[in-house]
Amino acid sequence: MSMTWGMNVSVETFDCAATADNLASARRFLRRFLAEVNWNGRDLDILIAVGEVLLNIVRHGFGGGNLRGNIHMEISIAKGVLVVLIEDNAPPSLPSGWSSSQRPAEDGGVGLAIVNHIAAEVEFAPTATGNRARLRFHPG
């Protein structure tokens, strides 16, 4: 399927257990979607931002994969904007509770800054059953 940025694309979904082993599959799913819709020039940035959110879910929400849980990802394009919705069933939390701004960059803690720099819009919200992240990206 080859789509242009201005067209609406049906939502595609990906579900997996919240383990580090599944992060590569999630990135392949996203990479395939971006290739199918010809999202030229932004694919690497989007993969980095979404990958960082997924890694943080596994690392912080599910204790590095030691706790059982699930991740659900939906990807769509509407009116030229790519939207990636990621939901998990980890204990509800907000980014302000995970802030590591006091840590040096070499110790980690720069992921949210990267995500906020790459995405046009980032929203994190706790839900009744876990957490939701919504990232919006504009074309190159």
Strands ordered across the beta sheet of 131-137: 9-17, 70-78, 81-88, 131-137, 121-126
pLDDT of residue 18: 95
pLDDT for residue 68: 92
Token pair, residue 9, equals 């694309």
Amino acid type, 47: L
CATH of domain 16-137: 3.30.565.10
Specify the pLDDT at position 136: 97
pLDDT of residue 108: 56
* End-to-end alpha carbon distance in the chain: 20
Q: Judging by DSSP bridges, how do beta strands 121-126 and 70-78 pair with one another?
A: unpaired
For each of the chain's 140 residues, which pLDDT tens digit applies? Answer: 334 444 556 689 999 999 999 999 999 999 999 998 888 789 999 999 999 999 999 988 998 778 899 999 999 998 889 999 999 999 998 776 665 555 554 445 688 899 999 999 999 999 999 999 999 999 87
Q: What is the pTM of this model?
A: 0.86
Give the distance from CA 8 to its chain's centroid: 20
The two most distant CA atoms of the chain are separated, in Å, by 45
